[in-house]
Amino acid sequence: MSKVRVLTPVVSVENNMQNAQALNVDRLVASKVRIGLLDNTKPNAGRLLGYVGDLLTERGLAARTFVVDKNDSPVNPAGTGATEAVLKRLSQEADVVLTALGN
Amino acid sequence: MKRGIPAATICTTGFVPVGRRFAQALGVPELPIIEVHNEVGHDSPTELEETARRIAEAVPSVLRKYQSRNVKGQQLQDEGRGDTLDVDAGTDLSIRVSELFLQENWTDGLPVVPPTEDRVHAMLEAVAVSPDEVLGVLPPRGGVATVRKVAVCAVMAGCLPKQFPIVVAAIRAIGAPQFELRTIQSTAHPHSPFIVVNGPAGIEAGLSNGHDLTPRGWQANIVIARAVRLVTVNMAGLRNVTASHTQGYLGRFVDCIRENEEENPWQPYHTELGYPRDASTVSAFPGEPPHLVDDRGSTTPQSMLTTFARVMATGGNRSTFGASEQILLFAPSHAQYLASHGFSKKDVRDFLYQVARIALNEYPKDNLDSLSTWHKKLFSNVSGPVTVPVVHDRSDFKVIVHGGIGPHSLYVPGSINAKSATVLVERKG
């Protein structure tokens, strides 16, 4: 049977790793790490992260924990990325970051 | 992670597949996900503490995963399928192509018109832009939407070549940064692009302004909307996760209308934005499915607009929690009544800003967390008879005239994150 050629909607995707930095895991060899907790401001997310931070400190896993949120976003922050200022603080002050949380 | 800092995300079970797809799309497929089994928004402090314990127990394994240097970034790979497929010819070609495309998750579930080379070529001939021009890189997937690939989707949707300039403009609009397509494609909140066309290009494309009684009259509206939907499925959507709305496909279909400029007593929408009256534009609004505003008895403009206000201002309306746009599609009879009683569009907005408000005490106190940052700043620490406006700025009431006979207007709630975008239709010749 003869063939008909059809075009597909398959597209190429943008290279979104262009500006990615190499992972710095050397910081994690310390016995205690600094843990940044990024609250997306959904209901209870910040409270939950606060409890997580307390537990990690209590159990000796974290030297320090701190919660930051995306409240400096001009719109509803849960659905948008953290601002540059928030990302900069996390980069400078955290060895590992936990983010939370969906509904 | 892309800042070089090890990271993990905490995710409820239902959102884990979306989270994984997102991580892939963002180039961090190995991002550790700590799964929790319930939605925490309703939890008591005791329940939250229990969930926190489970999360804390998972943290050492996250650290070990990074310490073993097993986590790497990786660009999202292109799909295995190429740009063309050779399919057996014959009378049931449409059925075979539809089944094949459905299997690949390239459709919206309905049968498609096979995008043969001739059909796609005819579509491309209808626009003044190059087939390789990139109309947008559509998030969250980051698919590169070239004119050629958009033409494939337009053929699949059933578009005629004369309708393609509208599709091209619509894709430029949904790719605009303020439209926040990333959110629309990934949120559980059921909303999708709502397309409004102004100017002569809409008439040339055969778009109905709401008056047509026959299916033929709606052909252009339906297929243009469907083309936009197919572009979002194939270029913006996360592979195999194209409907993360709480209710699945509901609210996922795109609408496309032409403003009824012929019976609009006010200036058309696009002229408010500074475009000449004879320009053709496409405006994309992030919108929920339309809600009815039924008013057949008001005897003053204030009374009629109070009906609109009461439809909008309800405590469970997600789009009133933040700085959303509220799209109002006035039936010609409603618009003409208001205009004939001296109400301009500005008067409509001013009145609605004062009246479309929710009494703060109607929000349950424990649900105030749902309010936007903006709302929280203004209202979290107040009490008494305070009312909350449903928009941040009165210009966020978008006044458009659409439809035919009858006392039925429509209200399209906007998105809490996204704003509309308007672009010119580029016509050939």
User: Which residue of A76, A89, A91 to mutate against B (max B Cβ within 10 Å)?
Assistant: A76
**Rounded mean pLDDT of A66-83?**
67
- Closest partner CB to B51 (pick from A10, A12, A48): A48
Contact assignment for A9 to B4 by CB distance below 8 Å: no
**Could you tell me the two tokens for B266?**
């006010």
- Chain B positions touching A19 (Cβ under 8 A) are 2
pLDDT band at B375, cuts 50/70/90?
A: low
Reduce the DSSP state of residue B388 to 3 states and report it: strand
Confidence at residue B23, expressed as pLDDT on a 0 to 100 scale: 83
Contact assignment for B137 to A73 by CB distance below 8 Å: no
- Chain A positions touching B374 (Cβ under 8 A) are 75
Q: Distance between CA atoms of A99 and A42, rounded to whole angstroms?
A: 11
DSSP class of residue B394? Answer: G
Confidence at residue B168, expressed as pLDDT on a 0 to 100 scale: 98
Confidence at residue B399, expressed as pLDDT on a 0 to 100 scale: 98
pLDDT band at B299, cuts 50/70/90?
A: very high
| Contacts of B99-108 spanning 24+ positions with Cβ under 8 A | B101/B156, B104/A8, B105/B233, B105/B239, B105/B240, B105/B242, B106/A8, B106/A9, B106/A10, B106/B156, B106/B230, B106/B233, B106/B234, B107/B156, B107/B230, B107/B233, B108/B226, B108/B229, B108/B230, B108/B233, B108/B253
Contact assignment for A101 to B12 by CB distance below 8 Å: yes
pLDDT band at B41, cuts 50/70/90?
A: confident
Residue B147 vs residues A17, B129, B193, B240, B363: alpha-carbon distances, Å: 25, 8, 19, 23, 46
pLDDT 10s digits, B74-118: 666 556 678 999 999 988 999 999 999 999 989 999 999 999 999
pLDDT band at B370, cuts 50/70/90?
A: low
Q: Distance between CA atoms of B177 and B182, rounded to whole angstroms?
A: 9
Q: Distance between CA atoms of B306 and B219, rounded to whole angstroms?
A: 35
Confidence at residue B13, expressed as pLDDT on a 0 to 100 scale: 87
- Chain B positions touching A83 (Cβ under 8 A) are none
Q: Distance between CA atoms of B401 and B177, rounded to whole angstroms?
A: 26
DSSP B80-118: S--SEEEEE-STTHHHHHHHHHHHTT-SSSS-----BHH
Q: What percent of chain B has pLDDT above 70?
A: 91
**Rounded mean pLDDT of B14-19?**
82
- Closest partner CB to A44 (pick from B4, B40, B374): B40
Torsions phi, psi for A20 (to 5 deg) = -70, 145
Contact assignment for B14 to A41 by CB distance below 8 Å: no
Confidence at residue B372, expressed as pLDDT on a 0 to 100 scale: 60
Confidence at residue B251, expressed as pLDDT on a 0 to 100 scale: 76
Q: Distance between CA atoms of B269 and B112, rounded to whole angstroms?
A: 33
- Helix H or strand E segment including B285: strand B281-287
pLDDT at A51 over 80: yes
pLDDT band at B427, cuts 50/70/90?
A: confident
pLDDT band at B425, cuts 50/70/90?
A: very high
State the amino acid at position B96 in one-letter form. R
pLDDT at B18 over 90: no
CB B158 within 8 A of CB B226: yes
**Rounded mean pLDDT of B178-199?**
90
Q: Chain A: nearest CA to B359, how far in angstroms?
A: 21
CB B300 within 8 A of CB B336: no
CB B196 within 8 A of CB B269: yes
- Chain A positions touching B27 (Cβ under 8 A) are 16-17, 20
Q: What is the mean pLDDT of chain A?
A: 82
CB B134 within 8 A of CB B146: yes
Contact assignment for A11 to B146 by CB distance below 8 Å: yes
Q: Distance between CA atoms of B252 and B191, rounded to whole angstroms?
A: 6
CB B174 within 8 A of CB B138: yes
pLDDT at B279 over 90: yes
User: Which residue of B1, B3, B44, B367 to mutate against A (max A Cβ within 10 Å)?
Assistant: B3
Q: Chain B: nearest CA to A31, how far in angstroms?
A: 11
pLDDT at B226 over 90: yes
Q: Distance between CA atoms of B426 and B266, rounded to whole angstroms?
A: 25
CB B112 within 8 A of CB B157: yes
Confidence at residue B353, expressed as pLDDT on a 0 to 100 scale: 95
pLDDT at A52 over 90: yes
- Chain A positions touching B76 (Cβ under 8 A) are 13, 16
Q: Chain B: nearest CA to A42, how far in angstroms?
A: 7
Q: Which of A91, A90, A69 is nearest to A80 (CA)?
A: A69
Q: What is the mean pLDDT of chain B?
A: 89
Contact assignment for B116 to A4 by CB distance below 8 Å: yes
Tell me which residue has tokens 């209590």: A58
**Could you tell me the two tokens for B151?**
């033409």
Contact assignment for A97 to B5 by CB distance below 8 Å: yes
**Rounded mean pLDDT of B52-73?**
84
Contact assignment for B40 to A101 by CB distance below 8 Å: yes
Chain B: residue whose CA lies nearest to A28: B67
What pTM, to 2 d.p., does this model score? 0.90
Least confident of B24-28, B230-234, B380-384: B380-384
Helix B147-157 vs helix B215-231: angle between axes, to the nearest 10 degrees? 140
Dihedral angle at the C-alpha atoms of B198, B199, B204, B209, nearest 10 degrees? Answer: 50
Contact assignment for B2 to A21 by CB distance below 8 Å: yes
Contact assignment for A101 to B34 by CB distance below 8 Å: no
Torsions phi, psi for B267 (to 5 deg) = -75, 145
- Beta bridge partners, B286, equal B193
Q: Distance between CA atoms of A15 and A17, rounded to whole angstroms?
A: 6
Q: Distance between CA atoms of B171 and B133, rounded to whole angstroms?
A: 12
pLDDT at B341 over 80: yes
**Rounded mean pLDDT of A10-34?**
77
Contact assignment for B84 to A79 by CB distance below 8 Å: no
- Closest partner CB to A101 (pick from B10, B42, B230): B10
**Rounded mean pLDDT of B387-395?**
88
Q: Chain B: nearest CA to A34, how far in angstroms?
A: 11
